[in-house]
Amino acid sequence: MNKKNKKIGIVYSTNPDFVYQYENENTEPETLEPSKQKLYISLDKKNRSGKQVTLIENFIGKQEDLDSLHKYLKNKCSVGGSIKDNTIILQGDQRQKVEKYLIELGYKIVRKN
């Protein structure tokens, strides 16, 4: 058993033939179609020395798909950025541009602020 795997749904069993199910932490959810995803766009400047960043949250899918969306948005907005905790972070107030590009790709958008 790999230490990163966890047993699912059972604490203890007296059945000698019981087979434990393991959760693999490395499994990623399948990427949903853009029309089935609702992304949240917000502006944040907390703990950033007064600088503004645009956050795109609630992406459901594989890391490589998130990376490609991040790269696409950075190129379209001509800004820098990063990904942290499945949240795309773009430098500056890019909410209008990001909303436009995501709608073109077929995503549903919700503005948080």
Q: Give pLDDT tens digits for 23-67.
A: 665 566 788 899 999 999 999 988 888 899 999 999 999 999 999
Q: Round to whole Å and give the CA distance between 39 and 112.
A: 10
List CB contacts of 52: < 8 A, sequence separation 6 or more. 43, 44, 45, 92, 93
pTM: 0.75
Could you tell me the CATH superfamily of domain 28-111? SUI1-like domain (3.30.780.10)
Domain boundaries, the chain: 28-111
pLDDT in tens, 56-98: 999 999 999 999 999 999 999 999 999 999 999 999 999 999 9
When pLDDT is cut at 50, 70 and 90, the band that residue 1 belongs to is very low
